[in-house]
Amino acid sequence: MNPYVIMISVIAALGGLLFGFDTAVISGTINFIQPYFGLSEAGLGWTVSSLLFGCIAGVFIAGKAGDHYGRKKVLMLAAMLFFISAVGSASSHELIYFIAARILGGLAVGVASILSPMYIAEIAPAKYRGSLVSMNQLAIVVGILVAFFTNYLLVDTGINNWRWMLLVMAAPAILLFFSLFLVPESPRWLVARQRNNEALTVLTKTSGAESAGKELLEIEETLKIHKESVFRDLMAPKIKPLIYIGIILAVFQQITGINTIMYYAPKIFASLGDSNQSALLQTLAIGCTNVVFTFIAIAFIDRFGRKLLLLIGSGGMMLFLFGLSSLYFMKQTSGIMVLVFILGYIACFCASLGPVVWVVIAELFPNRLRSKGMSVAIIALWIACTIVSIAFPIMLEKLSGGITFLIFAVICLANLLYVWRYVPETKGRTLEELEHILTKNL
C-alpha cells in the first residue's frame, strides 16, 4: 500500500479521532455536570444530546461547503471549531454557554463525519479503499479510547475535573489543523472544478503513473454532466434506491444502541453499584475493545467484503444484547457478566456496523452526487443518534434495563434481515465502476 496514501488517510482520519473524542468525552463528565448544573434525567439527556443537534447542522453545511470550497479547507474549519468547543465547554459556568460550546463541537463533528470518510474514499485506490476508509472508524474509536483514558486519569483532579476532561480535545484539534497543510485536495473534487492537471498529479502519487491516466478519464466520464447537482437529483429513479439504503443503514447503526453505551457507560456501571472511578475504569475496557476489534474489521473488510461483516456483526450484537437483557430480568446485574455482555456487543459492533456502514455510505453514490447523498444519509444517522441519546436515560428509568436492551436486540435482528435482503456488495471496484454497476442494476 502506497505510504503517501496512508499518510493522507491518517491525517484525514484525525477528523475521525476528534469526532470520537468529542462524542465520548461527555460520558466521563456526566456524573459531575449533572449535579453542577442541577440537571434532571431528562435535562441530562438533552444536555448530552446538544452536541448532536450541532452534528445535524454540520453535516448539512459540510456537503455544500465541501463541494464549493473543497474537502480540505472545510476540514480545516472543523479543526478550528473543535478547538473553540473544547475551550468554551471547559470554561463554562452556566448551562447555556456549556450547551452552546457543545453545539459548536457538534458542527465540527458533523463536518468530520461526512468529509473525513468521503475524502479518504476519493483518494484511496479501489483495492484498499475499504481498509483505508475504515481507518477513519479506527480513528473514531481511538478518539473514544483517548477520551475514556483521559477521563479516568483526570477523575481525581478536584471539583474542576470535568473541565480538564473537556479541554484535552484542544490538542488534537491543533494537530489536525496544521497537518492538513500536508495533504492534497481530492482528485474527484479537482476534476469537478476543471482542474484536471492537478487531479492527474494527485492520482499519479496515489494510484501510480500507469493507472492515473485511466482513472482520470473514468472520473471525467462520470462528471461529464457539468450542471451542478442539487438535492432533487437524489430522487432520480436510479439514485433513489441507493439513498434509501444509505439512510436505513445509517439509522440502523445508531438505533441498535451503540451510543447509549458510549455516552452512558459510566452511568450504567455506577447505577449497578460501582464507584465513579471503577465505572470509568470499566468504561476504559470498552474503549480498548473498540480499538482491537476495529483492527479486525480493517483486516477483513477488503478480503471478505462489506456484507458478510455486517451480517455476522448484527447477529453477534443481537445475541449479546439478548444476554444483557436477560441479566436485568434475572436481577443478576452486579456480576462480571454485565461487563462481558457489553464488551461482546461492542466487539461485534466495532468489527462490523461501526466501520462498514461508513465505508458503504462513502461508496454508494455517484461522484457528482456523493456529498449530497452522504449528507442525507449522515443527517439521518445523527437524527437517529439524537433521538436514542435523549430517550435512553428515560427508557432505563421508566422501562428498566431488561426491556430497554431487549428492544435494541430486536432492532439488531431487523438490521440483519435488511442487510441480507437489500444491501449490495461494493468491495474491490473503483468508485466509477460502482457508479456504473449500482445504477445499471436498479
Q: What is the pLDDT of residue 260?
A: 73
Q: Is residue 300 in some structural domain? A: yes
State the chain's maximal CA–CA distance in angstroms: 66
Mutual angle of helices 370-398 and 240-255, in 10-degree steps? 30
Q: What is the pLDDT of residue 290?
A: 80
Q: Is residue 115 in some structural domain? A: yes
Is pTM beyond 0.85? Reply is: no
Block means of pLDDT (10 residues each) for the chain, 442 residues, are 87 90 83 87 79 85 86 94 94 92 92 89 83 85 86 86 93 94 90 88 86 84 65 79 91 86 61 58 76 88 89 95 88 73 90 89 82 86 82 78 89 95 82 72 52
In this structure, the dihedral spanned by the alpha carbons of residues 173, 185, 426 and 250, taken in order and rounded to 10 degrees, is: 40
Instruction: Classify residue 195 as exposed, middle or buried by CB count within 10 Å of its CB (0-12, 13-18, 19+).
Output: middle
Q: How far is CA 114 from CA 36, 64, 109, 137, 153, in A?
A: 34, 11, 9, 12, 31
Dihedral class, residue 25 (left if φ above 0, else alpha if ψ from -120 to 50, else beta): alpha
**Tally of domains within the chain:** 1
The answer to whether 339 and 282 have CB atoms below 8 angstroms apart is yes
Q: Is residue 106 in some structural domain? A: yes
Q: What is the pLDDT of residue 77?
A: 94
At 54, list the grid cell.
Answer: 450541532
Grid-cell match 443503514, residue found: 249
* Containing structural domain, residue 46: 3-183+225-440
Mutual angle of helices 258-271 and 336-350, in 10-degree steps? 170
Grid-cell match 474514499, residue found: 121
CATH number at residue 251: 1.20.1250.20
Dihedral class, residue 94 (left if φ above 0, else alpha if ψ from -120 to 50, else beta): beta
Q: Is residue 218 in some structural domain? A: no
Q: Is residue 43 in some structural domain? A: yes
Q: What is the pLDDT of residue 173?
A: 95
Q: Is residue 34 in some structural domain? A: yes
Show the 3-state SS of the chain.
CCHHHHHHHHHHHHHHHHHHHHHHHHHHHHHHHHHHHCCCHHHHHHHHHHHHHHHHHHHHHHHHHHHHHCHHHHHHHHHHHHHHHHHHHHCCCCHHHHHHHHHHHHHHHHHHHHHHHHHHHHHCCHHHHHHHHHHHHHHHHHHHHHHHHHHHHHCCCCCCHHHHHHHCCHHHHHHHHHHHHHCCCCHHHHHHCCCHHHHHHHHHHHHCHHHHHHHHHHHHHHCCCCCCCCHHHHHCCCCHHHHHHHHHHHHHHHHCCHHHHHHHHHHHHHHCCCCHHHHHHHHHHHHHHHHHHHHHHHHHHHHHCHHHHHHHHHHHHHHHHHHHHHHHHCCCCCCHHHHHHHHHHHHHHHCCHHHHHHHHHHHHCCHHHHHHHHHHHHHHHHHHHHHHHHHHHHHHHHCHHHHHHHHHHHHHHHHHHHHHHHCCCCCCCCHHHHHHHHHHCC
Q: What is the pLDDT of residue 183?
A: 92
